[in-house]
Amino acid sequence: MSDNHQGSCLCGAVRFRTNGALRGVVYCHCSQCRKQSGHFYAATNVADADILIEGTESITWYEASSSARRGFCKTCGSLLFWKPRDDAYVSVLAGSFDAPTSLQGQCHIFIGDKGDYYSVDDALPQFEKSTPSIKVPSGE
């Protein structure tokens, strides 16, 4: 899989390029992700040093908690990023990448908080909260 990817928001005001390894896609079912997106998040992540974001003036950052913020395009509303306050990486919504991505699902987190209107029927690992290898605040 290539370590070079690019993507954007729906209107193109925010574009990004990554040059580094991307984590597998983690599906987050926490209530914050569901309320912001209308369903659940599907995101990978990349080291801060390995992403170049153009159009940062078009990003609105919402402080979702004391430990993380969520970035979206202020023009079209596309959800783009989840950024922890104290770590040097950014989660990028998988759907914002241009195809082909070569991304693959890794696991489901906060499955105990998932919506009651759907089921998770794939064979990926499921975690009630999160896992030690996926650093997220316990309330995210």
Assigned domain for 8 exists: yes
Assigned domain for 91 exists: yes
Task: Report d(CA 102, CA 51) in Å as an integer.
Answer: 17
Indicate which CATH number applies to the domain containing 23: 2.170.150.70
Domain span at residue 60 reads 4-113
Looking at residue 136, its pLDDT comes to 66
Rounded to the nearest 10°, the torsion over CA 103, 81, 33, 3 is 10
Assigned domain for 125 exists: no
Looking at residue 1, its pLDDT comes to 47
* Number of folded domains that form the chain: 1
Looking at residue 130, its pLDDT comes to 85
Q: For the chain, 140 residues long, give each residue's pLDDT as a single digit of tens.
A: 468 999 999 999 999 999 988 999 999 999 999 999 999 999 999 999 999 999 999 999 999 889 899 999 999 999 999 999 989 999 999 999 999 999 999 999 999 999 999 999 999 999 999 877 776 655 44
Assigned domain for 73 exists: yes
Report residue 37 CA to chain centroid gap: 11
DSSP sequence for 52-118: EEE-GGGEEEE--SSSEEEEEETTT--EEEEEETTSSEEEEEGGGBPSP----EEEEE-GGG--TT-
Assigned domain for 96 exists: yes
Assigned domain for 140 exists: no
Assigned domain for 138 exists: no
The two tokens of residue 117 are: 């209107």
Assigned domain for 40 exists: yes
